[in-house]
Structure formats: C-alpha cells, structure tokens
Amino acid sequence: MQENRRKKTGQKDFAKNRKTHKKAEEIKKVREGGRHGNTTGKESGENMKRSLCPVSKRCGGCQMLDVPYDRQLQEKQKNVEGLLKGFCRVYPIVGMEDPFHYRNKVHAAFGYKKGEAVSGVYREGTHEIVPVERCMLEDEKADQIIGTIRGMLKSFKIRTYDEETGYGLLRHVLVKRGFATGQIMVVLVTTSPIFPSRNNFVKALRKKHPEITTIIQNLNDRFTSMVLGEREKVLYGKGYIEDRLCGCTFRISSKSFYQVNPVQTEKLYAKAIEAAALTGKETVIDAYCGIGTIGLIAAGKAGRVIGVELNQDAVRDGVQNARTNKISNIQFYHNDAGRFMTGMAQDGEKVDVVFLDPPRSGSTEEFIRAVAVLAPDRVVYVSCNPETLARDLKVFRGGGYQAEGAWPYDLFPHTGHVETVVLIQRKDT
C-alpha cells in the first residue's frame, strides 16, 4: 500500500522534473542570447553557452547543474543502490518539483579583487573568491540582500577583509530565511567588534530590505576556515529566526544546524517518522538532533523523547523549541552522541526507537555498539552521505540489526549529494 503510494509520488515528481528542465532550457536559451548574466565576473562566451551559470565550473558548488534533472535523479538512485547493495531494497528517489533556488541559507565571502570589493564563494580548495551575484541554488531574496550590502560598502567606507594583509572589516555575510514564516536573518561577520557607523548601516539596510527580521554582528578575528566566530551581538530584532516544518515551529540561531532545503526536508522527516511506526508509548532517542526537529515532530506520537547534540547553541534552541510548541515529553542533552549512548547502555536504560541523523562523517562504532546493547526494536538512520551510511550499516549488521528499506530524497539538486532514510530492525523482533 505504502509502497504504491510512494511509487506514484516518485513518478509524478519525475514527470514534473522533466517539465522543470524544459523551463531551465528556456532560461538557458535566453541567457545565451545575452539578456542575462548572473555574475559580476566576465566570462567567456563559450562558458555561457555551456552552463546555466557562468561561474559553475569555477565555483564548484553545483557539479550537476547542466545535467538534466531527471538524469541527476537517476544517477543518485544508482549511486545509493550501488552502495547499499546487499543491505536492503532502495526505493525510488523523491526529487523536487522545482529544483532551483531551494537553499534557505546563503553564505558569501567578502574580499577584494583588483581593488574592488567582491562577494561570492571560495574557489574549491582555495581562498580565491569567485564573484557571484545570483546563484541557481540559493534563495533569490538572500542573494539580493547580499548584493545590497556589497553596494552599500563604499558609501559607508567599510573595507572588506583582505586575507593577505589581514586588513578590512567585513569578512562574510550569512543570510538565513524561514521559507514558511518569511523571517530573515542577516549575519555580518566582522574582524573587529568596532564597526564605524554601525547603527546607520543597519538602518539603511533595513530601509532597503524591510523584510529582514534580525541582524547580527558576529566577530571572527581568527585565521580559520570557519565562517562564524564565537562572539556575537544582536544589532536588530530577536537574534534568531523561526521556521515551520511538519506542523512544528523551530527557532534557528546563527550557528545551529538547520536543513538547507525545507521543502524536501518535510518529506524526508515525514518518511523517517513513518518508518519508526510509533504508537504513542515508545521511549525514543533523537541522536545528533540539532535544534530538535525530528524529535519534536515525533514527540506527539511517542511516550517520551531524548535528544542529544554536541552543539550547545542548537541544544538551547531545542529546549526553546519544546516550549514554543508546548511539547513536554522531550529532554535535551548536550553531549557527544556516542558517549551519551554508551552511558545509557551502561545504566541499563530501556529504549524502543533510535533516530540518528549524523553529519557527513557518519556515526561511530561506539555509538552503534551502544545501540546494540540498548536493543531498541527499530533504528531510523537519516544520512546525508551514502558512503558512511553503508559503512555504518555493516556495523549495525554485526550488532544484530538488519536494514529493511532505504528511501533516498534529493535535498541537494544539482550537487552530487543525496539524503537517505533507512529503517533498520533488530533481527529477533
């Protein structure tokens, strides 16, 4: 039953994807005619002809932009199938109806090129900035705001950061947008806490973009590849934004993780929760929980939920999110997930379902061994990297757990990345 429904959805998405690609082809033709250019950099006519985005090759953020979307999906499907062969069935990947401008978080590095302030992305493996004005993946409003900020720098005499000399104030701009709420956060990452004419700058930016709901100054004065530093100051608004997913409201601060593609995330989480087959009585762990998204959405269907997360800011957001959504059967712990689970296993706790949603590096043997001791009936693994997923499934198998099915979701169109939900069951249940 369920499978049929999923198949239909998959087919519908594929058909729409083809349509979307047609639309993309049209855009491409117009671009080739020279009416649009989407970067500040001068590009050769040849490159313009080849790509939907003139800087895609140098930026490296969307390796598959010029591959038709349905083919991208086929390739991702094949990739997941290849890696999970021998573990379980892989269901058809769920793609996007409109696979453009899906990113709700946009980051731009600021610097200098030939004496001019530029903003964009670092060329892969370097610290050379590739200027970007408009990106096919990023939220368009966020790109506009970044462009506005770049345009304001001269009149406010704000120098952008020069990595070689270490001079300059503005290093990065980060924009996060709640697609469901419309709330927008702008983070100005500076090398110094002293920001001349800060108030006027904020006022002028808000005037140009009244839709901005909060502005933060983040201090990053270190030689590091991290975008955000530790200290920050709220210059306007609440210092965080909110978004809604699967009926819950989530508070997102500058540093906490939040999925970048909320449209697909809703489908992904719905699948993860469906796979857990909760009845209302279970004790559930949401490991690598971030701001508590999966656990909070599951809480209404579970007895109690325990969230564990390493990032302190995200934990704080999670606690607040529980309050906002009036959810009282969830507790959050600030800890390493492996260490926490080992502690739970040593204390002989009883757990029925474990969700885990680790970073690209995957989970750890320590974590999986502790799960095997805790012996939950079901484990739902949400993975953003099928390679580490396959590696971890092997460890689960060694611990007496069997993968029952894998459901890939395209959360990152035009890139090589793919997200997968896997239901893993204890063998003797």
What are the catalytic residues? 384
Structure tokens at 78: 């094949």
For ligand SAH, the closer of residues 162 and 336 by Cβ is 336
Instruction: Determine which residue in the list 92, 290, 318, 405 makes contact with ligand SAH, applying CB under 6 A.
Output: 290
Segment interacting with ligand SAH, rule: CB under 6 A, options 163-171, 217-225, 255-263, 397-405: 255-263
H-type alpha helices, 287-356:
293-299, 312-324, 337-346
Smallest separation, CB 289 to ligand SAH (Å): 5
Smallest separation, CB 310 to ligand SAH (Å): 4
Smallest separation, CB 16 to ligand SAH (Å): 25
Pattern 405-424, binding to ligand SAH, x per CB under 6 A?
--------------------
φ/ψ region of 362 (left if φ > 0, alpha if ψ in -120 to 50, else beta) reads left
Q: From CA 123, how far away is CA 118, in angstroms rounded?
A: 13
Our CA angle for 229, 306, 344, nearest 5°, is 100
User: For the CA atoms of 185, 189, 194, 199, what is the dihedral angle to 10 degrees?
Assistant: -20
For ligand SAH, the closer of residues 133 and 309 by Cβ is 309
Q: From CA 156, how far away is CA 117, in angstroms rounded?
A: 13
Residues with Cβ within 8 Å of 359's Cβ and at least 6 positions away in sequence, in order, are 288, 384
Segment interacting with ligand SAH, rule: CB under 6 A, options 52-60, 101-109, 218-226, 285-293: 285-293
Distances (CA, A) of 360 to 213, 327, 363, 404: 31, 29, 9, 22
Pattern 334-373, binding to ligand SAH, x per CB under 6 A?
--xx-------------------xxx--------------
DSSP structural state of residue 228: -
Segment interacting with ligand SAH, rule: CB under 6 A, options 60-68, 179-187, 238-246, 304-312: 304-312
Q: From CA 259, how far away is CA 243, in angstroms rounded?
A: 11
Residue number closest to ligand SAH, CB atom? 290
Q: From CA 74, how far away is CA 209, in angstroms rounded?
A: 40
User: Which is nearest to 362 in space by CA: 384, 345, 342, 379?
Assistant: 384
H-type alpha helices, 347-422:
365-374, 386-398
Smallest separation, CB 24 to ligand SAH (Å): 29
For ligand SAH, the closer of residues 117 and 248 by Cβ is 248
For ligand SAH, the closer of residues 118 and 337 by Cβ is 337
Smallest separation, CB 305 to ligand SAH (Å): 12
Backbone angles phi, psi at 184, to 5 degrees: -130, 130
Smallest separation, CB 161 to ligand SAH (Å): 26
CB burial string 33-63: b at 16+ within 10 A, e below: eeeeebbbbebeeeebeebbbbbbbbbebbb
Site for ligand SAH in 144-203 (CB under 6 A): none
Quick count: other Cβ atoms within 10 Å of Cβ 97? 12
For ligand SAH, the closer of residues 133 and 139 by Cβ is 139
For ligand SAH, the closer of residues 215 and 273 by Cβ is 273
For ligand SAH, the closer of residues 38 and 385 by Cβ is 385
Binding to ligand SAH by residue 311, rule CB under 6 A? yes
Residues near ligand SAH (CB under 6 A) are: 257-259, 288-290, 293-294, 308-311, 314, 336-337, 357-359
